Amino acid sequence: MAFQIPNREKLFIQTNRGDFLGNLFTTFNMDFDSQLGKVRVSPRLRVNTDNVDDAQLGVPTAFLRTSASGTDQWWALCGTVLFKTSGTDPSATFTQDALGSSPTTMTTTSSDLIEFNGKMYASLPTDIAELDSTTWDVDWWTNVIGGTALTTAIPHPLLATIKTNTFLVGNGNLVHAMNKNENVSNSRLILPSVYQIIWMIASRDGVWIGARHTEGGEGQIFFWDEVAENYNRQYGVKHARCFAGIIKDGIPWTVNGAGQLLQYNGVGFEERAVFPVFSQSGSEWTNGQEINLPVVHRNGMSVVDEKIHILIDTTINNDLDFIMENFPPGVWIFDNDRGLTQKYAISRYDGTENDYGTWTNNGGSVGAIYSTNAQQGLLLVGAKFPTDDGSTFLTAILFKDENDSIVKRGHFTTAVFESSAFEDVFQDILLSFKRFRSSGDRIIVKYRAIKNPDFPIITAGITWTDTDTFTTTKNLSNVTAGDEVYIIRGTGAGTLVHVLSISEAAGTYTVNLDETIANATGTGRVIIDDFTKCATVSTQGIERQGFDLDVVGTWIQLKVELRSASGSVGAGDSPELEKVVVTNVPEITT
């Protein structure tokens, strides 16, 4: 007998409902879309501009391309100030806006960006600023056109509608409107007072407004056809919060605080997929920020290459040390057949090898994601993330690096594959793959066949003593040589290695690794798990390879790591894994 991944229909399936359903348990930097039915390492997100380049660059929470200044260029809302490119390439460097009266009082809670009738607008805590050619007017809303002052310290999402070309701004439970002739209608829509508007999106049919319930009841999405005196309908979102919304093929989608991806079905919003947190009983997907920088920002969803992309932080219960091994932060992507998988990790990579993707938990946060085009980075991402165990942070604008012939790493863990009898002998692992482009490419397979309640171990922090050794005061008495070490913060984040040796003295553990981590220094954090390495493919010129396993158990679970080395043109498509097959027979006892 045998089982394989992908399945016989060439499908990878991640249900995020535990480790027995589907055939994927977790994914990290995995690209299932470039070659359907196969898997590669995803291209890397690369830092464009960060707070080292300009200390005033805050978390990027909105992106926009507009010619409002007289130049066709990209803009980014970064904390209190705006940044922009000099032209149409979003992968070019962003510099701080220096146009006359450029606003400097924006906040991550209140502010948003839109273009309307050729001009650009930025919402402020109590007003709206307008850019018309080369000069900003920072009190345009209240002083020029007679809009009502906005309420401070709450979201002020902006929207230019499609159906009637109307300018809208959210303000608590109110929506103010302005037509193309700049005639203002204050409080054009009035929602029930227990709702606070978080986001607004436009379809050809009208406007969809996402609102949280301020007293803990169910959040709602309100629909307005842009004609009726007030909103037409409202729909529950199965939680007090719906973080963000997006229109795909004319249909609205949202993500709620329970971790559900919901789609409008004509009568309400139904679940289409879930994040792993949804199956974590008694847990709340929250970093303690209701409206400022929550785990999904209101601009944190985008349709990229016809697929929904969602930029997420994975803090749970506002506990910076609560980490689910199958819930890495970064950009997740939804596919109708596959479900939700993690495709792009947040990284401080800027052309040098610092990491392959860090976890934003422990003080980090996520902002906006915005679709650009395939020739110029494909997407823009805004985030704040630790560069060590949590004392130093980088705030950055990132883009997808089109130079795909650089070093990349990613991995996936399979669902649990059960034995055909009470116990099976899992005999062999067989791998099929495209021939490697580089001698440095690797496919590494690991397994576990028992559930050890002591694993995974999330360390309270590590300190590097050299490039293959760290120390920690976390109790690692259950860790032995061969256990897997997954670096999730600091230098080398996103790397999987294994314990070579471990020792303890006066409560401090010293862990020596089987591989070096380039430039490892300072502090970091790791997850230690009980996966055993059993197969490494390293040979060019072959397309399949088998390895003895001979493991007896009632189930087996695999972790597969793909390492793409730099060098040759087109190296981004190598390694490309076609399938993994495990042969098994019932264990016969006498």
Question: What confidence category does residue 451 fall into, taking pLDDT thresholds of 50, 70 and 90?
Answer: confident
Q: Is the pLDDT of residue 561 over 90?
A: yes
Query: What does the angle CA 298 – CA 302 – CA 308 come to, to the nearest 5 degrees?
Result: 120
The mean pLDDT value for 374-395 works out to: 90
**How is residue 134 annotated by DSSP?**
T
Residues 6+ apart with CB under 8 A from 34: 40, 573
Roughly how many angstroms between the first and final C-alpha of the chain, as a whole number? 21
Domains of the chain: 45-368 (2.130.10.10)
Q: Is the pLDDT of residue 568 over 70?
A: no
What is the rounded distance in angstroms from the CA atom of residue 101 to the CA atom of residue 18? 53
What is the rounded distance in angstroms from the CA atom of residue 438 to the CA atom of residue 402? 19
Tell whether the torsion through CA atoms of 351, 356, 362 and 367 is positive or negative: positive
22-64 residue pLDDT tens: 999 999 999 999 999 999 999 999 999 999 999 999 999 999 9
What is the rounded distance in angstroms from the CA atom of residue 164 to the CA atom of residue 54? 40
How far lies 549's CA from each of 543, 552, 577, in Å?
20, 9, 19
Beta-ladder partners of 136: 131
Q: Residue 362 has what pLDDT?
A: 76
330-371 residue pLDDT tens: 999 999 999 999 999 999 998 887 799 999 987 899 999 999
The mean pLDDT value for 462-469 works out to: 98
**How is residue 416 annotated by DSSP?**
P
Query: What does the angle CA 327 – CA 330 – CA 334 come to, to the nearest 5 degrees?
Result: 80
The mean pLDDT value for 364-386 works out to: 91
Q: Residue 402 has what pLDDT?
A: 74
Q: Residue 48 has what pLDDT?
A: 96
Q: Residue 585 has what pLDDT?
A: 92
The one-letter amino acid code at 462 reads: I
The mean pLDDT value for 369-385 works out to: 89
Question: What confidence category does residue 73 fall into, taking pLDDT thresholds of 50, 70 and 90?
Answer: very high
Please, are residues 563 and 29 in contact by the beta-carbon 8 Å criterion? no
Phi, psi of 76 (to 5 degrees): -135, 130
Residue closest to 310 by CA, chosen among 280, 337, 272, 348: 272
What is the rounded distance in angstroms from the CA atom of residue 585 to the CA atom of residue 552? 10
318 sits in the region (left: phi over 0; alpha: psi -120 to 50; else beta) called: left
Long-range pairs of 210-215 with CB within 8 A, sequence gap ≥ 24: 210/237, 210/242, 210/243, 210/244, 210/245, 210/254, 210/298, 211/173, 211/242, 212/240, 212/241, 212/242, 212/290, 212/291, 213/240, 213/241
Q: Is the peptide bond before 575 cis (omega within 30 degrees of 0)?
A: yes
Question: What confidence category does residue 405 fall into, taking pLDDT thresholds of 50, 70 and 90?
Answer: confident
Q: Is the pLDDT of residue 320 over 90?
A: no
Q: Is the pLDDT of residue 285 over 80?
A: yes
Q: Residue 587 has what pLDDT?
A: 80
Provide the mean pLDDT of the chain.
95
**What six digits make up the tokens of 519?**
């430039």
Residue closest to 83 by CA, chosen among 98, 70, 68: 98
Phi, psi of 249 (to 5 degrees): 55, 40
Please, are residues 45 and 380 in contact by the beta-carbon 8 Å criterion? no
Q: Residue 354 has what pLDDT?
A: 76
DSSP string over 496-538 = EEEEEEEEEETTEEEEEESS--TT--SEEEEEEE--EEEEEE-
What is the rounded distance in angstroms from the CA atom of residue 527 to the CA atom of residue 486? 5
Calculate what percentage of the chain has a pLDDT beyond 70.
Answer: 98
The mean pLDDT value for 416-430 works out to: 92
Residue closest to 402 by CA, chosen among 63, 46, 86: 46
511-545 residue pLDDT tens: 999 999 999 999 999 999 999 999 999 999 999 99
Question: What confidence category does residue 567 fall into, taking pLDDT thresholds of 50, 70 and 90?
Answer: low
How far lies 79's CA from each of 49, 314, 347, 384, in Å?
14, 21, 20, 11
Q: Is the pLDDT of residue 193 over 90?
A: yes
Calculate what percentage of the chain has a pLDDT beyond 90.
Answer: 88
Q: Is the peptide bond before 456 cis (omega within 30 degrees of 0)?
A: yes
What is the rounded distance in angstroms from the CA atom of residue 114 to the CA atom of residue 159? 7
Please, are residues 160 and 179 in contact by the beta-carbon 8 Å criterion? no
The mean pLDDT value for 211-220 works out to: 96
Residues 6+ apart with CB under 8 A from 237: 210, 218, 219, 220, 221, 254, 256, 262, 269
Q: Residue 420 has what pLDDT?
A: 87
Secondary structure (3-state) at 370: strand
What is the rounded distance in angstroms from the CA atom of residue 568 to the CA atom of residue 406? 9
Residue closest to 312 by CA, chosen among 382, 217, 253, 224: 382
